[in-house]
Structure 1
Amino acid sequence: MVAEPNNWGRFGPEDQRGTLNLLTPDVVLRALGAARTGQVLSLAMPVKGAPRLRGRPAPQHFMSVDGGDYAAGARPVGPGLRMADDVLIVSSHGTTTHMDALCHMWSGEEIYNGHPAARVRSHGAARCGIEQVGGVVARGLFYDVAGYFGVDHLPPDHRITPEVLADIAEPEPGDAVVIRTGWPTVWDSSPGQPGLSADAGRWLARHDVSVVACDNAAIEGLNDRQLSDEDLDDDLHLILLHRHGVHLLEMLWLEELAAAGRTDFVFVVAPLRIQGGTGSAVNPLAIL
């Protein structure tokens, strides 16, 4: 059992959804009121253009059937009917916009809520897999931290403090917090990454947010070796995923959202129902 303040047992001993439990029907209905113009923005990076990160394979996208097959004499699937098919191989983490399941990271012998880590096996996680998420509809609260400081992107060694977050907005229980550092605009020339400080993660957890989403690769900052400098007590994945059951989304594309000038919106995301999956590629939406 973790000693630091946490949400273990708060939503029942069998809970596998963490703070997504705060998204009750009443909270979701209130969140829908944040849509005012009806404009829909994708917050996902293009899979083709996603950066390659240390230890994670790049996406593989190839055609299984295309026009060249018919030019070479392939038989049409029906009279006058032809088709194109393709295949995508993508890591659940690290190579494109994705959502972490609560079984993704832990310390000790237990994942979130005290479920045995031994239940995370070669065929998948028997507890807290990504299929437990379902669909997420929440009020999105936008923290354009790069814009707050008047820059296109934060420097790699910048760690966002709770004081800056509080100065931008105070989240309400169930909010999906979306944080812009601007890092994706310079990822190919910046091995280090800005991100949240440990205290900022604790501040968000105390505010009972349902989701934390960021345009960097790990929510927290990374050094030029693409590793965290934090110890276990201050690791953001342990603070948010493991201790508080807050799902994380990483590697978002937030430039159009920043240009729209909106601070709140309807946030929608649904991961693939991968049984026992530790995460899923996603296409988050902002409804303005």
Structure 2
Amino acid sequence: MAEPRWKKRPEGSNWGDFGPDDQKGRLNLLTPQKVLQGIAEVREGLAFCLSLPLDYPGGNAMNVNRLPPILRPLLRKGGVNMNYQYQWIQEGRPDVLSDDLAILHLQYSTQWDALSHVGALFDANDDGVPEPLYYNGFSAGGDVEGPSELEDCGIAGPIKPHSTSCAHALGIERMAETCVQGRGVMIDLHHHYGLGRTHVGYDQLMRVLEADRVEVEAGDIVCLHTGYAEALLGMNRNPDPAELERLAAVLDGNDSRLLNWITDSNLVAIAADNYSVEIFPAGHAGDCCSVMPLHHHCLFKLGVHLGELWHLTPLAQWLRANDRNRFLLTAPPLRLPGAVGAPLNPIATV
């Protein structure tokens, strides 16, 4: 067995519990038995698409660093490869072909965060000097690296062969390899708290679970319905930044009891239909603590993947109308080696 890359692990973390080189985190609990539990929830054969169109939210009002996807046709023999007719070069051919490419900001719309998305400074070597690390002690700059030159970032210019960002460990492909299929559990925050901005801590969450008789068990994938993505659809790719700040429930990552519940529940992932799952920025006094404490707790400490901007409203409404909160969830991200996040088209089957 390989030696761990650390002498001490963060307090409250599970580093090493699934092995010193583990890159799946809590997805290790997504066992064949959990898949069978998810399949057992399929009674009607109805499927729900849980992805927004990937050109939503529109613009960059939500995040100035992330831009909508760009679709372009490929080139073919010096021409535009859209509605390309073979008869242009050889008479009598009936074929018409189109082929295109996409430039994607991978966390622009419906997405999963890889475990390489958020790390932290931590003194894992116990030498008094904190190092930038990710889940299970994988290192920034070694296990997760990228180009150092500004011109090698974004889409401003040509990409040089050496400029590729790459998570050699904890890339999103590790999540995709598990297939991410199992039992989903809906927590309908929108039904109880409406569409206004509400900070949901442990007490507020427990009231919802009790009122709706929701039980979250080890290996479940939790989905949080807030109504945020449904509201985005109504903005028609032109979201109002001020309106976004007033929208929907968000988890309070500063609530230690809420974080402890995530630990103790042994859930394997959390997907929300809002922008960041949690309050962002977290609003700590001073600069001692993470600006995203729930991301820090889930991605860095526990290996719990986070999903954002899922479209959950039609599913949540159907489940409530049928007095249910569980379903089969199939939600693998794009199997893009080295990426720190990826879009997906999750499917719920009831």
Task: Mark yes or no: TM-score above 0.5.
Answer: yes
Residue from 270, 275, 278 that aligns with 1:212: 270
Q: In structure 2, what is the equivalent of residue 242 of structure 1?
A: 300
Distance in 2 between residues matched to 1:201 and 1:63, nearest whole Å:
46
Q: In structure 1, what is the equivalent of residue 158 of structure 2?
A: none
Alignment of 1:25 onto 2:40: no
Distance in 1 between residues matched to 2:114 and 2:201, nearest whole Å:
25
Q: Structure 1 residue 58: deviation in Å?
A: 1.9
Residue from 138, 157, 161 that aligns with 2:182: 138
Q: In structure 2, what is the equivalent of residue 179 of structure 1?
A: 224
Distance in 2 between residues matched to 1:42 and 1:121, nearest whole Å:
34
Distance in 1 between residues matched to 2:277 and 2:90, nearest whole Å:
48
The one-letter code of the counterpart of 2:169 is R
Aligned to 1:138, the other structure's residue is in SS state strand
Q: In structure 1, what is the equivalent of residue 201 of structure 2?
A: 161
Aligned to 1:37, the other structure's residue is in SS state coil
Q: Structure 1 residue 229: deviation in Å?
A: 2.6
What TM-score, normalized to structure 1?
A: 0.88
Give matches, 1:1-288, under 5 Å.
1-51=8-58, 52=60, 53-54=62-63, 55-64=65-74, 65-67=81-83, 74-75=88-89, 79-93=93-107, 95-108=108-121, 109-118=132-141, 119-122=143-146, 123-133=165-175, 134=177, 135-149=179-193, 151=194, 153=195, 155-156=196-197, 158-167=198-207, 168=209, 169-187=214-232, 188-189=239-240, 190-192=243-245, 193=247, 194-198=249-253, 199=255, 200-222=258-280, 227-230=281-284, 231-232=289-290, 235-261=293-319, 262-288=324-350
Larger radius of gyration: 2
Distance in 2 between residues matched to 1:148 and 1:8, nearest whole Å:
36
Q: Structure 1's 46 and 201: CA in aligned 2 closer, same or farther, altered over 3 A?
A: farther
What TM-score, normalized to structure 2?
A: 0.73
- Answer whether contact 1:99 1:271 (CA < 8 A) is retained: yes
Aligned to 1:117, the other structure's residue is in SS state coil
The one-letter code of the counterpart of 1:142 is M
- Answer whether contact 2:56 2:68 (CA < 8 A) is retained: no
Distance in 2 between residues matched to 1:77 and 1:110, nearest whole Å:
61
Distance in 2 between residues matched to 1:24 and 1:76, nearest whole Å:
55
- Where do 5+ consecutive residues of structure 2 fail to align? 1-7, 75-80, 122-131, 147-164, 233-238
Distance in 2 between residues matched to 1:78 and 1:202, nearest whole Å:
69
Distance in 1 between residues matched to 2:259 and 2:228, nearest whole Å:
19
Q: Structure 1's 201 and 216: CA in aligned 2 closer, same or farther, altered over 3 A?
A: farther
Distance in 2 between residues matched to 1:110 and 1:285, nearest whole Å:
33
Distance in 2 between residues matched to 1:77 and 1:164, nearest whole Å:
70
- Answer whether contact 2:55 2:68 (CA < 8 A) is retained: no
- Quote the sequence identity (%): 30
Q: Structure 1's 148 and 57: CA in aligned 2 closer, same or farther, altered over 3 A?
A: same
Q: Structure 1 residue 61: deviation in Å?
A: 2.1
Q: Structure 1 residue 29: deviation in Å?
A: 1.6
Distance in 1 between residues matched to 2:99 and 2:68, nearest whole Å:
20
Q: RMSD value over aligned CA atoms?
A: 2.3
Q: Structure 1's 77 and 255: CA in aligned 2 closer, same or farther, altered over 3 A?
A: farther
- Answer whether contact 2:189 2:225 (CA < 8 A) is retained: yes
Q: Structure 1 residue 60: deviation in Å?
A: 1.2
Distance in 1 between residues matched to 2:90 and 2:43, nearest whole Å:
47
